[in-house]
């Protein structure tokens, strides 16, 4: 522990206290505009928390909760039954039992045409992979991904379904399947002919139609999936049952927490209206920002936690769940620890093949830029996503550039000679607070759009200079100390 215990306790108290007070202010502004938000967006009557109204404006949360309640959770329960039965009786054929079940579930939810689209994507990707050219594989993947945004194709697919929700389910599923097809195809290109038996078309189908990750991820690279699925382990019903019960309790707690947040704070409804954001106090503005990013975090604990639990039940190791955003103190850490599966995909298939950190400065800039360009395009390619991608690219570049400069032996010697370890730790937190402020801004653009990002930039950094800006950076300085200390203790264990 570099810093005195009293100092770390002070940072911890200021972090927790500022979170709670900011949430209180966000709750107050939600109550103030409740009638206006109800008239404009139709707040829903509270079900879990009676007497409170619920903010229904987070499309992703409402969408997956509705689908989960109606069909997907039942199909996941069916997958669990097939998986545990096959592990108990026919372990050798487990991948093929799960493949057949995944295909049947796809057919049931998306219809024969939706099933045919995903099967066609897989077949085209596999055929192109036979040329064993990574560039050609990537070109094929981008073309298949681009077909999701051709208006004529979109209209044709819409006609297949009775509701927009059904069409969106196909759209989201195919978007995620594109990444799985890309992973398989690139691994096929990179493996020697003697290893091709483990990269056959049936294995591709087992991977693409694996149901727990089918609609929304998390992303698991093909080699990890294949190695773990082939591995036969001792099966214990008692152990698996305890994992299932603990997992369900944990996910239920997260769901209750997410529901409580959107009952107490109308985050998404307020973000859809500029007036409340422009007139709210700085504390309320900060509380809404914290609530927005923390709700996103809790939401993905659930959306990735449910399939992650099923992966564990299947004997696979799921990607780690997202790290708490209140502990984030750099762009680099956020990308490494929030969506671990996506990060591994981007590093393995884009960043490293393009040269990564081992190439020249220009090569690093290019490989990082291509990585964020792909992420922005895959998420939808709207203008606010390009701004979000550009801010993240700039943040990662500046952080890595600073690390490179500070790692020069001459500069390291000077720093160690003139600055104590405690001073260096505090300087680290100062730099991290600036990085965190830009990280939060970029996430607000991602979650709320350009208008929300512009309002926060103007109010905090332009109109609020110097006192509001320095106050925000001061609290982020405390958050950074807590995040750095947590990271060091976690790494030590």
Take residue 475 and report the two structure tokens written for it: 């609290």
In three-state form (DSSP H/G/I as H, E/B as E, the rest C), the secondary structure along 168-210 is HHHHHHHHHHHHHHHHHHHHHHHCCHHHHHHHCHHHHHHHHCC
In three-state form (DSSP H/G/I as H, E/B as E, the rest C), the secondary structure along 343-380 is HHHHHHHHHCCCCHHHCCHHHHHHHHHHHHHHHHHHCC
Asked if residues 87 and 315 have their Cβ atoms less than 8 Å apart, the reply is yes
Asked if residues 309 and 79 have their Cβ atoms less than 8 Å apart, the reply is no
Take residue 148 and report the two structure tokens written for it: 């999701």
379 is catalytic: yes
132 Cβ neighbours under 8 A, 6+ residues apart: 188, 189
Asked if residues 99 and 88 have their Cβ atoms less than 8 Å apart, the reply is no
Which H or E run includes 488?
helix 467-492
Quote the CA–CA distance of 107 and 109 in Å, as a whole number.
6
- Give how far Cα 147 sits from Cα of 121, 143, 450, Å: 11, 6, 26
Quote the CA–CA distance of 488 and 493 in Å, as a whole number.
9
Q: What φ, ψ does residue 321 adopt, rounded to 5°?
A: -70, 160
Asked if residues 432 and 483 have their Cβ atoms less than 8 Å apart, the reply is yes
- In this structure, the chain runs to a length of 493
SS3 call for 9: helix
51: left (phi over 0), alpha (psi -120 to 50) or beta: left
SS3 call for 45: strand
Residue whose tokens read 């393009």: 354
Q: Which of 19, 27, 215, 379 is catalytic?
A: 379
- Give how far Cα 156 sits from Cα of 118, 281, 424, Å: 15, 47, 60
Handedness of CA 16, 22, 28, 34 (dihedral sign): negative
Take residue 481 and report the two structure tokens written for it: 């100390």
Handedness of CA 210, 213, 218, 219 (dihedral sign): positive
Quote the CA–CA distance of 109 and 338 in Å, as a whole number.
29
Asked if residues 320 and 328 have their Cβ atoms less than 8 Å apart, the reply is no
Active site members:
379
């Amino acid at each position: 522990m570099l810093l005195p215990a009293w100092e770390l306790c002070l940072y911890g108290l200021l972090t927790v206290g500022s979170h709670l007070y900011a949430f209180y202010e966000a709750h107050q502004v939600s109550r103030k505009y409740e009638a206006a938000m109800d008239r404009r967006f139709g707040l829903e009557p509270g079900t879990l928390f009676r007497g409170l109204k619920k903010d229904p404006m987070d499309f992703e949360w409402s969408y997956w909760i509705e689908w989960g309640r109606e069909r997907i959770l039942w199909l996941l329960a069916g997958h669990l039954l097939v998986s545990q039965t096959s592990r108990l009786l026919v372990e050798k054929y487990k991948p093929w039992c799960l493949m057949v079940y995944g295909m049947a579930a796809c057919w049931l939810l998306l219809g024969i045409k939706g099933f045919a689209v995903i099967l066609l994507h897989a077949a085209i990707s596999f055929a192109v992979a036979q040329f064993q050219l990574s560039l050609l594989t990537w070109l094929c993947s981008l073309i298949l991904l681009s077909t999701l945004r051709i208006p004529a194709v979109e209209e044709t697919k819409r006609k297949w379904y009775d509701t927009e929700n059904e069409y969106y389910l196909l759209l989201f599923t195919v978007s995620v399947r594109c990444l799985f097809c890309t992973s398989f195809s690139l691994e096929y290109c990179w493996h020697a002919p003697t290893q091709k038996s483990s990269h056959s078309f049936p294995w591709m189908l087992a991977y693409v139609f694996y149901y727990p990750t089918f609609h929304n991820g998390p992303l698991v690279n093909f080699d990890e999936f294949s190695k773990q699925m082939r591995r036969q382990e001792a099966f214990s019903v008692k152990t698996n049952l305890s994992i299932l019960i603990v997992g369900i309790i944990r996910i239920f707690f997260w769901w209750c927490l997410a529901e409580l947040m959107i009952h107490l704070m109308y985050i998404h409804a307020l973000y859809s209206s500029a007036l409340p954001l422009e007139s709210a106090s700085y504390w309320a503005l900060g509380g809404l920002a914290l609530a927005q990013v923390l709700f996103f975090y809790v939401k993905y604990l659930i959306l990735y936690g449910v399939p992650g639990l099923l992966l564990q039940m299947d004997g696979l190791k799921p990607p780690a769940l997202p790290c708490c955003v209140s502990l984030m103190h750099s762009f680099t850490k956020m990308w490494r620890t929030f969506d671990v599966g996506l990060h591994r995909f981007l590093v393995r298939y884009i960043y490293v093949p393009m040269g990564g950190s081992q190439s020249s400065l220009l090569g690093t800039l290019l490989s990082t830029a291509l990585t964020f360009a792909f992420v922005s395009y895959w998420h939808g390619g709207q203008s606010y996503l390009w701004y979000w991608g550009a801010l993240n690219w700039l943040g990662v570049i500046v952080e890595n550039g600073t690390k490179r400069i500070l790692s020069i032996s001459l500069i390291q010697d000077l720093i160690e000679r003139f600055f104590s370890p405690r001073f260096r730790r505090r300087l680290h937190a100062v730099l991290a607070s600036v990085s965190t402020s830009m990280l939060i801004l970029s996430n607000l653009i991602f979650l709320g759009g350009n208008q929300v990002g512009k309002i926060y930039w103007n109010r905090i950094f332009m109109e609020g200079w110097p006192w509001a800006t320095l106050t925000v950076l001061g609290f982020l300085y405390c958050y950074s100390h807590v995040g750095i200390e947590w990271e060091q203790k976690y790494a030590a264990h």
